[in-house]
Structure 1
Amino acid sequence: MKLAAAALLMSVALWGLAAVVALPLSDWPLPWADPLSLRPQQILLAYGQLPRAVVALLAGALLGLSGALMQAVLRNPLADPTTLGVSSGAQLALVAATILWPASLDLGRGAVALVGAGTAACLVMALGARRGFAPVTVTIAGMLVGMLAAAIATALTLSQGYYLLSLVIWNGGALTQEGWSGGLHLGLALIPALLLAGALARPLVVLSLGGAGAAALGARVGLIRLAAMALAVVLSAVVSAEVGLVGFVGLAAPAIVRRLGARTVGQVLMSAPLAGAVVLSLCDSALMAVAALGGPDLPTGALTGLIGGPLLIALLPKLRAIVPPGAEAGDTAPRRAPSPWRRVGVLAVLTIAAAVVTLVAGRGPGGWTVIRGDLAATFLPLRATAILAAAAAGALLATSGAVLQRLTANPMAAPEVLGVTGGASLGYAAVIFLVPEPGPVMLALGCAGGGALSLGLLSVHAMRADLAPARLLLAGLAIGALATAVLAAIMASADPRAWSLLGWMAGSAARATPGSAMLLGVLALVALAASLVAARWLEILPLGPEIARGLGLPVARIRLVLILGAGLATGAASVLVGPVSFVGLMAPHIARSLGLLRAAPFLVASWLTGAALMIAAAFGARTLSYPYDLPLGLFATLIGAPWLFATLLRGRRR
């Protein structure tokens, strides 16, 4: 309690500093003063800064309680509205309603946010039920659901320029208030939430014995899980509707109270709201003080997001290793193809056919058509350049994913899952902000270097902590979460350079020039050739490091070379078409499902599949909203997500 009181006093002091800088103490209005008699600065204090402080406390308390409930239900210290994709689901629902169906907001932002949050939670819980609610698997499913929802929300935001600024600021989790209504809504939600959580404390204690043990004692396990998760989702949706995305407070609050001595479920449930309130209030007050002293005015969610990645990595060693056998892979391995190279040949023909159709077909003013005549001379070179860039980027991402999956012997490994794409994005942002007038070469080096560095750091951490493959994925997702938070902070700033970063993040092959597309194509061929040279290594490494060393392979050096190569390939692909999700994960899965299990045909098939997927994504991005191009990453995500969820659903109920 002493630590909480000290932190709360620090928060009050920082808030007071920001308020005094804006308005001298002698000019502060009295609580009962007539609003019509107040000056603008006094109105800002009474109806802006003061309600903001109250909202920070209440929102933090609600998020802390939501995270504690989720962790108690799933027996998972990594569960919270952010890691389970619930906050991103609420974000997607609100963004979609704002852009596509504004009339639905008449029902209330809270109701719309609840639909999105509930849908995301149901999807994650369905995936978790198929895998026996294994903590690692549920967390991976939740973070990937969150990635999908965030990608779609970002694409919708980028497609509507007149909503862009307000949605970017809201997505960053700004606590700015224009009155006391937000605090009133959150306060009315907190009081019954605490009462309901107290009523659920004893059933959750029984549930902590495990589903089978709780059922043996007569507990209605399904009903307890449903009630607790429903309450947690409602609390998360309420906060998202009022202040936007504020990440990882629900993860930090229970971790803090456990560190301070809370042991029982009831103690955590009652203490986590206080810890969440203190954490969010301290973060918000610190940002207010920085802005008042002339620093950047950043949304609070950007700062709380920065604690998520390091905290996830710190909590990984405490995650119980109760993953059921086969939880991270399918229950049955695909049958090996009798003629693998014949299937590779068919795949190559289909990829070429897709490229040709995409080149000559499309939508015009008169509808769907095939380009011919005079138009061909004008449009075909432009389309060929974009198709080559998209195909080469997809091939590079697929090669990176195939190498990582063979290297880690984990079919869920991929550049976007292991944080390589996030690292490449940070490298791109660093070049934009640190190098005056950066050229394409510097941007490419920044992307490639960021991707390789993030993967290298992840590998060092994994080897030191001796992380199992599933936990390695969570560490990668933590790096990706940290990168996302940094990028959100940059996007919410007033720096003009952030807009060039936003345009790159949208992802489009239309920006490619013939020279850059040719260069990327050459790099894709080089990556394929290099992976085939390493095919023998990739045949042996999945058998385990002991066997590989017994066969004379220098495992450490080979891992380093392959990791750096995968990072460079991801960075090279990202610099031209932007960050793209799921291609590096899905293409190797498709190749494996075709029975191509040996390293060489598997690598070639992954390379071709990645190219075909990006060609399809480029075609959809160009034609769906003619005459405008939509973000390339959106279509890659929409194509890849169903395959990913099908993979996760292959596990049996346990």
Structure 2
Amino acid sequence: MDTATIARPAPPELPVRRGGRLTLLVTGLLALIAFGAAVHLTQGTANLDAMDVLRLVFGGGSDDTAAVVIESRLPRLLAALVVGVALGVAGAVLQSVARNIIASPDTLAVDAGAHLAIVAVAAFGISLPLLGAAGVAFVGGLGAAMLVLTLSGTGGTGIVRLVLAGTAIALAMIAMTHVLLLLFSEETRGLFAWGAGSLGQNGLSGVRTLGPVVAVALVLLIALSRRLDLVYLGDDHARSLGVHVGRIRFAAIILAVLLAASAVTLAGPIGFVGLAAPALVRLLTNAVPGLHRHAALIPVSAVMGVALLLGADVLLRAVIGSQGALEVSTGVVTTILGAIFLMVLARNIRVTGATSEPPAAGARGGVGTGRFRLILGVLVVVAVGAVAGSVLLGDTKLLMGDVLNWVTGQAGPIVTNVMENRAPRVVAALLAGASLALAGAVIQAVARNPLAEPGIIGVSGGAGLGAVTMITLVSGVGFWAQAGAAGIGAALAMMLVFTLAARGGFASERLVLIGFGVQAGTQALVTLLITLSDPWNETKALTWLGGSTYGRSFEHLVPMMLAVLVVVPLLIRARGELDLLSVDNETPRVLGVNVPRSRLLLLTCAVLLTGAAVAGIGVISFVGLVAPHAARAIVGRRHARALPVAALLGGILVCVADTIGRTVIAPSQLPAGLMTAIIGAPYFVWLLYRSRVRSA
């Protein structure tokens, strides 16, 4: 059994021990919250200390002190209480419904769906009251959660599928959110910073409105606690005792999503509290008898959520000061801490020893030489067509004659200016797509996971963090320094993921979970750096995080060209080793392959390709997943054939996405990475659905 799923309830013990330990745990958490609340009220830009707050509590103090505490600090504190309760309970219930300790508003894309719904309403100029906004967030979050649970299942064994499905849906929804933020910048002003999650409030109106909603949902879930106990023990067992499993599960999901939507409406998406709080409580169930029952699990998860969120906010203000905390969202801190928690959790869980599904699963056995050459020729023609269309289309339309005149040096100044700006962008898109596709194919083979790719396992995030760090910390940094930093970031992320995943036999499940944590943590750090360095330039943040070819010159193409020239011969030579490594560890050893050395060499190739691509055009999602998988489906498992087909498909995908982004709203532009996410997510969802159907 996969113990990454929730542990089964422990046998009942003596009531005295159960009550004593549980009471001690709750008392300790409440004392921690009380201490954090007291410290929280003394933190702020106004010069108020603990004695000023105490005088106000006992009826003294000045009007200025009362105004600061009641209008600023108390609303923030109460928001932390309401949001912490909502996320802690929502995570606990979703974990029980999915029978999966990794389930949460983050991994089920509830936060991303709620954020997208709120931004979409704002983009179209619809003004709603607070409860109306909460209703919109609820609809968006519910749709995302139901889609993810449909793809991953609720049997407790789909831990990797749940994370991958949630990540894919969240990436697509985040991409659509960023598109709306770019297209409707005036209507959605301020929603990008809010999207990182902030406890700042304008008075008590938000808490007064949504606090009762959270309280009612909490009471209803506690009323369902006995039935949730039975449902968690097993569907057949619950049905034999007269429980309507479908209705209870649906009601629990509705209430959990309502809690998460209320939290998003009040404070924006606060990352990982809904995962870490109930997961920590579940880890204590063996030490605290009785905690496994939902009548105790739900309220204790609520208290734990408050403790984590309030602690993160107090820690943030203590470390960077109250003035700095105005610029840094609490959600960034919780995401970083939660990502660390997830990596530690994934590193220490036991997973099934079964061999992972090879990356060629579901692909055809292969095609004949003649058919392969025909497919390759067709793809080359399509790639040439995509390049030609990308060169001709954009804010200024060109003709083939204009391009020929430019090549021969006979074009006029307008055509020359357009081509000098457009040609490097087209080549950059082609090279970046090919590089990411090759990197994805290598990672999928080495990890033996058909759904792994540089973005999902954190390599792209590490490269992006390295580049943004260099840009942020070094004024006027050159492109080569930026490219080097991206490569170093990708290498460090890869080393971290694969070092942590190596414990216990390099299991595919552990690799995906740790990679998900690294990706989330690097994205939060990128947001933190951009917020601290240039908090008002949302376009800069969105363009970089979305991956764009804008402003590329031929100088920016050199790292990708060098990476391709160095790596492609190595991959050609190692094509047979890739075939063997994608099967298992024993087969290549029996045939004389040095598995650790080959794995290190191939992963280094993937890092070089990913780092060069990110340095060239930013973070691009889904290309490293979609292209290799489609290539195997077309030409079979052999990497001698799948690699060139994947490279062509990746180049075509990014080239087409870049062309669409430059054309559909010309003269404005959409980053290519956002378009690849929107295009690639449906295909990824279909892969997950087909994988689940095949497993069933």
After TM superposition, the score normalised by the length of structure 2 is 0.86
1:7 to 2:32 alignment: yes
Distance between the aligned counterparts of 1:56 and 1:223, measured in 2? 31
Aligned partner of 1:93 in structure 2 is 117
Q: Which deviations, in whole Å up to 9, do the C-alpha atoms of 1:304-326 show, x marking residues without a partner?
A: 11122122122226767589999
- Mean alpha-carbon deviation: is it higher for 78-87 or for 202-211? 202-211
Q: Which deviations, in whole Å up to 9, do the C-alpha atoms of 1:56-102 show, x marking residues without a partner?
A: 01110111000000011111111110111111111111122222343
- Mean alpha-carbon deviation: is it higher for 627-636 or for 464-473? 464-473
Aligned partner of 1:558 in structure 2 is 598
After TM superposition, give the deviation of residue 627 of structure 1 in Å. 0.4
1:400 to 2:439 alignment: yes
Tell me if structure 2 keeps the 8 A contact 1:418–1:476: yes
1:243 to 2:267 alignment: yes
Distance between the aligned counterparts of 1:570 and 1:69, measured in 2? 38
The secondary structure found in structure 2 opposite 1:552 is coil
After TM superposition, give the deviation of residue 159 of structure 1 in Å. 3.9
1:644 to 2:684 alignment: yes
Q: Which deviations, in whole Å up to 9, do the C-alpha atoms of 1:586-634 show, x marking residues without a partner?
A: 0101101113321111011111111000100110110011101111111
1:281 to 2:310 alignment: yes
The secondary structure found in structure 2 opposite 1:465 is coil
Question: 1:485–1:496: structure 2 CA closer, same or farther, 3 Å change rule?
Answer: closer
* Among 384, 387, 399, the residue aligned to 1:352: 384
1:536 to 2:576 alignment: yes
After TM superposition, the score normalised by the length of structure 1 is 0.92
Give matches, 1:223-622, under 5 Å.
223-260=247-284, 261=288, 262-290=291-319, 292=321, 295-297=324-326, 298-316=328-346, 321=351, 332-338=362-368, 339-362=371-394, 364=396, 370=399, 373=402, 374=412, 375-493=414-532, 495=534, 503-517=543-557, 519-622=559-662
After TM superposition, give the deviation of residue 292 of structure 1 in Å. 4.7
Tell me if structure 2 keeps the 8 A contact 1:443–1:575: yes
Q: Which deviations, in whole Å up to 9, do the C-alpha atoms of 1:173-218 show, x marking residues without a partner?
A: 1111111112112320232122211122112111222334434544
* Among 156, 167, 171, the residue aligned to 2:191: 167
The secondary structure found in structure 1 opposite 2:190 is helix
Paired AA for residue 432 in structure 2: A
After TM superposition, give the deviation of residue 510 of structure 1 in Å. 2.2
Tell me if structure 1 keeps the 8 A contact 2:97–2:253: yes
1:200 to 2:240 alignment: no
Question: 1:633–1:316: structure 2 CA closer, same or farther, 3 Å change rule?
Answer: same
Tell me if structure 2 keeps the 8 A contact 1:67–1:254: yes
Paired AA for residue 43 in structure 2: A
- Mean alpha-carbon deviation: is it higher for 607-616 or for 101-110? 101-110
* Among 78, 93, 97, the residue aligned to 1:69: 93
The secondary structure found in structure 1 opposite 2:43 is helix
Distance between the aligned counterparts of 1:128 and 1:190, measured in 2? 27
After TM superposition, give the deviation of residue 32 of structure 1 in Å. 12
After TM superposition, give the deviation of residue 294 of structure 1 in Å. 5.4
Distance between the aligned counterparts of 1:136 and 1:202, measured in 2? 29
Distance between the aligned counterparts of 1:69 and 1:504, measured in 2? 36
Distance between the aligned counterparts of 1:611 and 1:454, measured in 2? 24
Question: 1:327–1:127: structure 2 CA closer, same or farther, 3 Å change rule?
Answer: farther
Question: 1:323–1:117: structure 2 CA closer, same or farther, 3 Å change rule?
Answer: farther
Question: 1:633–1:33: structure 2 CA closer, same or farther, 3 Å change rule?
Answer: farther
Question: 1:15–1:447: structure 2 CA closer, same or farther, 3 Å change rule?
Answer: same
Question: 1:351–1:370: structure 2 CA closer, same or farther, 3 Å change rule?
Answer: same
Question: 1:360–1:462: structure 2 CA closer, same or farther, 3 Å change rule?
Answer: same
Distance between the aligned counterparts of 2:374 and 2:494, measured in 1? 34
The secondary structure found in structure 1 opposite 2:635 is coil
Aligned length: 649
Q: Which deviations, in whole Å up to 9, do the C-alpha atoms of 1:364-406 show, x marking residues without a partner?
A: 5xxx774655554442342221100111011110110011111
1:191 to 2:234 alignment: no
Aligned partner of 1:623 in structure 2 is 663
Q: Share of identical aligned residues, percent? A: 33
- Mean alpha-carbon deviation: is it higher for 330-339 or for 442-451? 330-339
Paired AA for residue 309 in structure 1: A
Question: 1:291–1:53: structure 2 CA closer, same or farther, 3 Å change rule?
Answer: farther
Question: 1:321–1:219: structure 2 CA closer, same or farther, 3 Å change rule?
Answer: farther
Paired AA for residue 395 in structure 1: A
Distance between the aligned counterparts of 1:234 and 1:92, measured in 2? 16
Tell me if structure 1 keeps the 8 A contact 2:391–2:422: yes
After TM superposition, give the deviation of residue 235 of structure 1 in Å. 0.5
Distance between the aligned counterparts of 1:327 and 1:147, measured in 2? 24
Aligned partner of 2:21 in structure 1 is none
Paired AA for residue 535 in structure 1: R
Distance between the aligned counterparts of 2:358 and 2:639, measured in 1? 21
Distance between the aligned counterparts of 2:242 and 2:363, measured in 1? 38
Question: 1:462–1:291: structure 2 CA closer, same or farther, 3 Å change rule?
Answer: closer
Paired AA for residue 66 in structure 1: A
After TM superposition, give the deviation of residue 25 of structure 1 in Å. 6.1
Paired AA for residue 605 in structure 1: V
- Over the residues paired in the alignment, what is the CA RMSD in angstroms? 3.0
Tell me if structure 2 keeps the 8 A contact 1:148–1:641: yes
Paired AA for residue 250 in structure 1: G
- Mean alpha-carbon deviation: is it higher for 197-206 or for 328-337? 328-337
Paired AA for residue 231 in structure 1: L
Distance between the aligned counterparts of 2:659 and 2:428, measured in 1? 13
Distance between the aligned counterparts of 1:399 and 1:573, measured in 2? 11
Paired AA for residue 333 in structure 2: L
After TM superposition, give the deviation of residue 19 of structure 1 in Å. 5.1
Question: 1:138–1:535: structure 2 CA closer, same or farther, 3 Å change rule?
Answer: same
- The gaps in structure 2 that reach 5 residues or longer are 1-25, 403-411
- The gaps in structure 1 that reach 5 residues or longer are none
Distance between the aligned counterparts of 1:371 and 1:43, measured in 2? 69
